[in-house]
A and B are shown apart, each in its own frame.
Chain A
């Protein structure tokens, strides 16, 4: 059986066969698609390339979205970092900035890679490129980061959901954060088991997060949710690397996420009918952007 259905199965296979999660994902992809390792590797390298460009644009250019709801936050944080006086940590804030960079580029109709969706596309590249600087990661390690993240997303997607419209933001930014946390652990030299713990710790802290985009646009609160997702991913990875474990195993956290998402009211699943979208300011912005009061129909689709 090439597929892995659960984090437990994945971790046990990696331990038995003495390989990292990224390698198990590459092998599964080869078996399922019938494509060569080289073809799969190169496709992922191309994704990495696009992510890198998006990060670069977001932290250097003056990005503005069509609606005016987002843009410029990533650059501001880089400038703040450069001034040298900040409270959390350099890698954390760099990851936060780079995650927002991708989302701001996305909102401004730039080119991005959906990871796992367009709305949550910042967390994985944000942490990847911030950490690459700190660890002086090679291109190979960066590509492996994406396979490891993909393996976790693949399990979550097949056992729960990855779109705000189906499971709330916990399914979108929550999944991206869990994916990033596992990949950070592997890049930093941790074990597959520690990656699994990082998944549990990261996802637990985003359980219940609703999807309530202002005016139905993938901007507010999405950009900052990606920022916090990046921070949570790094801290969750640090906890796992320190040897901290989750009381509830990762697969059960994913199952809990599924149950919470299934029982979440429709108003909080990307319909822009509840949460932040339904605040006075949220409604006023929607009216301004669309030139009339928002009678927004439910969107039944991914991000």
Chain B
């Protein structure tokens, strides 16, 4: 059964016009924002494929910036997102690329401020559903359907066990888990999708594990 809920059919509530080009784009932007953890000062967005060709007609540009401003798919401020970003002093640049992309509806989002930066690649796979396929150079697969914990750590033994121990202690079940690294023995990124939400103290505990560099939590967007 592909569809399990009546609300997959009657729903979601969203700003038009397209579930893949508008709602999906907003979710990619919002996931980037959640991972960045704060409002950025500078935003560079690159559209590929169908996103690059039809973004103006579908409002993909305002939707993705709306997401970066932490607006939900149904937030009526989405059509004005570019103006709102300007009012808040956020510099937004769009680039169009005709490079090969993993999917026709692909966007690369680069967020920056004085304290740091984040770069991710998201794809919109239909009906408003998305996947994050790259984060800061790490290949990964994050659906945004479940709460997810992203743990950046040194690439060494025992890290997975240490993190999953903390989750077990808090009675949190792991639905999907993946570790990726750019280079052996350097940094690695653990992506853990869970069935339940993860409480703040569990996240702090994980962040405090030796050799863990950062722990980020994202809720479904």
The interface of chain A, by Cβ under 8 A from chain B, is: 3, 25, 28-29, 32-33, 40, 43-44, 46-47, 50, 65-67, 105-119, 121, 124, 146-147, 149-151, 153-154, 157-158, 162-163, 165, 179, 215-219, 289-290, 294-303
Contacts and interface: CB of A to CB of B under 8 A. Distances in A.
A107 B16 contact: yes
B17 A109 contact: yes
Contacts of B21: 299
Q: Which of B6, B15, B24 has the most CB of A within 10 A?
A: B6
Contacts of B9: 115-116, 149-150, 153-154, 157, 162, 179
A127 to B, nearest CB: 14
Interface in B138-197: none
A118 B19 contact: yes
Contact of B14 (A107, A114, A290, A294): A114
A136 to B, nearest CB: 23
B17 A118 contact: yes
* Interface class of chain B by DSSP: mixed
B126 A111 contact: no
A219 B4 CA distance: 29
A297 B17 contact: no
Across the A-B interface, give the 8 residue pairs with the lowest CB-CB distance, nearest first: A106-B16, A301-B126, A153-B9, A301-B20, A302-B126, A150-B6, A302-B127, A157-B3
Interface stretch (B31-39, B49-57, B212-220): B49-57
B125 A217 contact: no
A160 B11 CA distance: 19
Interface stretch (B72-80, B83-91, B113-121, B200-208): B72-80
Contacts of A28: 6
Contact of A219 (B13, B17, B124): B17
Contact of A50 (B74, B124, B127): B74
B30 interface: no
A111 B74 contact: yes
Given A110-B15, A294-B53, 20 more contacts: A28-B6, A47-B11, A106-B17, A112-B15, A113-B10, A113-B11, A113-B14, A115-B9, A150-B7, A157-B2, A157-B3, A179-B9, A217-B54, A289-B56, A290-B53, A296-B53, A300-B104, A301-B19, A302-B128, A303-B20
A151 B6 contact: yes
A114 B6 contact: no
